[in-house]
Structure 1
Amino acid sequence: MEILQATMHELEELTVLFDEYRQFYGIESDKSSAKAFLQLRMALKESVIFIAVENGKTIGFAQLYPTFSSIALQCAYILNDIYVTEDARGQGVGKALMKKVFQCCEQQHARYVTLQTATDNVNARKLYEKLDMMQDQYSNYVKYFS
């Protein structure tokens, strides 16, 4: 398995996984909108996307969005999306993607990488804790618009 930074050359395979990821969260399939969203993020360099490839097939991805820590005066990242195809789960793909994310953040001298996951996502939570991630002391508040 290889972990690579996605380029426009991988957009089609990435779109399929991104659409599956959104369906996992209850969103109706919409490959054309998913593709347009990814294409724009990549073209504007608004995200960093890593893909896991095994035997020529894309089996997972992780998408980071850059942000900043005003307190630390450093960049930081939000790991907004991570997904592994159902048939590739339990084979270390998520762990490999996470390690690549950490490597990228360290290379960029980021202050931190943060993510959110559901409280009932037991497998993901175990992985994050095994990789020395911890819950912070802050409570998250959100206001949704449309």
Structure 2
Amino acid sequence: MTTTIVPIAGGHPAFDRTAAMFDAYRVHYGLPSSPEMTRSWLHDQLAQHRISAAAAIQADQVCGFVTATIMPASLALGTAWSIRDLYVDPHHRRSGIAHALLQHVIHSARAAGASRLSLQTETDNVPALTLYTRAGFRPVTGLELLNLRLDPRPEDSGNTT
């Protein structure tokens, strides 16, 4: 079956299905389902150009999505991209969709002249780490990821995104 990767904006016909999958992604990480809040948040982030999103579509069904941010790379006087979220519906995993979404972002970042593309994932997420290292991503040494919670919530599981 053919998979098509399409950029998603608030007015795209697949936006609502992508937002529903984004809610499933949040649930996957232990957060409560909140379809309307998720839809509103995603719409606002896309409208304000804080993130970009692309969806993997097969036969009019959204099978996965990826989001990325573009940040200034001040020392390089350019831009750096960061993959924030990559999720594939469990029924469509191990079919190349995550790879296609990842390649879409890599191609888009290169075409835009980004100086680097980075991401973060949990240290025990072996499938994701395998995908990313096969695509050429390498661990960054000499840096520490630091986090200051500004909105502590009791349900916070320690995730930084």
- Shared fold, TM over 0.5: yes
CA-based RMSD of the aligned residues comes to 0.8
Q: Which structure dedicates a bigger proportion of its chain to helix?
A: 1
TM-score (norm 2): 0.88
Can you give the 5+ residue segments of structure 2 that lack an aligned partner in the other structure? 152-161
Task: Give the number of equivalent residue pairs.
Answer: 146
Task: Quote the Cα distance in structure 1 between the aligned partners of 2:131 and 2:90.
Answer: 16
Can you give the 5+ residue segments of structure 1 that lack an aligned partner in the other structure? none
**Identity %, equivalent residues:** 25
Among 133, 140, 151, the residue aligned to 1:136? 140
**Is the partner of 1:65 in helix, strand or coil?**
strand
Question: Which aligned pairs between 1:95-134 and structure 2 lie closer than 5 A?
Answer: 95-134=99-138
Shift of 1:46: 1.9
Shift of 1:65: 1.0
User: In the alignment, what sits opposite 1:29?
Assistant: 33
TM-score (norm 1): 0.97
Among 73, 77, 82, the residue aligned to 1:73? 77
User: In the alignment, what sits opposite 2:158?
Assistant: none
Shift of 1:68: 1.4
User: In the alignment, what sits opposite 1:57?
Assistant: 61
Task: Quote the Cα distance in structure 1 between the aligned partners of 2:60 and 2:34.
Answer: 24
The one-letter amino acid paired with 2:15 is L
- Runs of 4+ in structure 1 over 4 Å off: none
Shift of 1:49: 0.4
The one-letter amino acid paired with 1:60 is G
